[in-house]
Amino acid sequence: MNRPLQTVSLRLAVLGHPIAHSRSPRMHAANFAALGLAASYEAFDVTEADLPARLADLQARGYTGANLTIPLKARGLELVDEATPRARLLGGVNTILFRADGRRVGDNTDGFGFLAALHEAGFDGPAGIRVLVLGCGGTGRALALTAAQAGAAAVLLANRTAARAADVAAALRAACPGVPAEALPADPAVWELAARTCPLIVHTTSQGLQPGDAPLLTRRAFAAGQWVFDAVYTAQRTPILREAAQAGARTLNGLGMLVHQGAESFRLWTGLEPDLAAMHAAVRG
């Protein structure tokens, strides 16, 4: 049973481009209902060029804060007055708090959500193991850095543009000098061989999002006992997860990460503990 509504001043939003696919509004609405909060969470389609004006508008209208998603996270880091250490480490902001004194505080809860989702699924995490990260865009960079900071034995990086993988490897070596970081050649055959040596494989590319897309790696890359995580949450079983499952690997899509990064954002905005069960149910529906 939902609790009686509490009178609060809590207006929140998620900004991105595109944004129509986002499940965050219904996820947060379910959490508000479960907690009895009279709060709102809206989605706005916002480009990088429009982000400064939109943040100023939300702040002037009394919003408590906002989430930023693709492609706004790096630009968001430039538009806050204060950034947490993890936001600076990950190179982007996905959560902004508008403080009463007019200052903006930026944080990044993506890495937290990633590790929490792995733990919830029964996987202890990347400490002491080799991790392969497929895709070195904003999400790939963030999750590679998170794995390194969590104590991975080594992080291997694969990207269609080898220079981007090299850039992320350099960032990892600078941030976590004790963790070997290797940029692989832009060759799926090399990635397949590397995958076989890694107990955890993290997929963050757009390959598989469109109907008919072939998986980035086939079942030959996977083995029983491996964990394969795909940051995509709009499909229960993406092409790469289907291939991995057929090889006996354990698979996980991005829904758990979505819930836990959103839950951590809610804690930052309110100081309250979210209803994780309600949030999980909302994103699965």
Task: In whole angstroms, give the CA distance from residue 232 to residue 257.
Answer: 10
Return all residues near 79 (Cβ < 8 A) that are at least 6 apart: 51, 52, 55, 104, 106
Q: Which amino acid type is present at position 124?
A: D
d(CA 38, CA 34): 11
Contacts of 36 (CB under 8 A, 6+ apart): 2, 3, 4, 5, 6
Catalytic residue among 73, 104, 260, 280: 73
Q: H or E element: which one contains 277?
A: helix 276-284
- 215: cis peptide before it, omega within 30°? no
Active site residue 242: no
In order, the DSSP letters of 231-253 are ---SSSS-HHHHHHHHTT-EEE-
User: Which DSSP category does 196 fall into?
Assistant: T
Question: What is residue 210's three-state secondary structure?
Answer: coil
Q: Which run of H or of E encompasses 258?
A: helix 255-270
- Distance separating alpha carbons of residues 198 and 195, to the nearest angstrom: 5
Query: 3-class DSSP state for residue 130?
Result: strand
**For residue 66, what are its two tokens?**
């906002």
The enclosing H or E element of 256 equals helix 255-270
Q: Which residues are catalytic?
A: 73
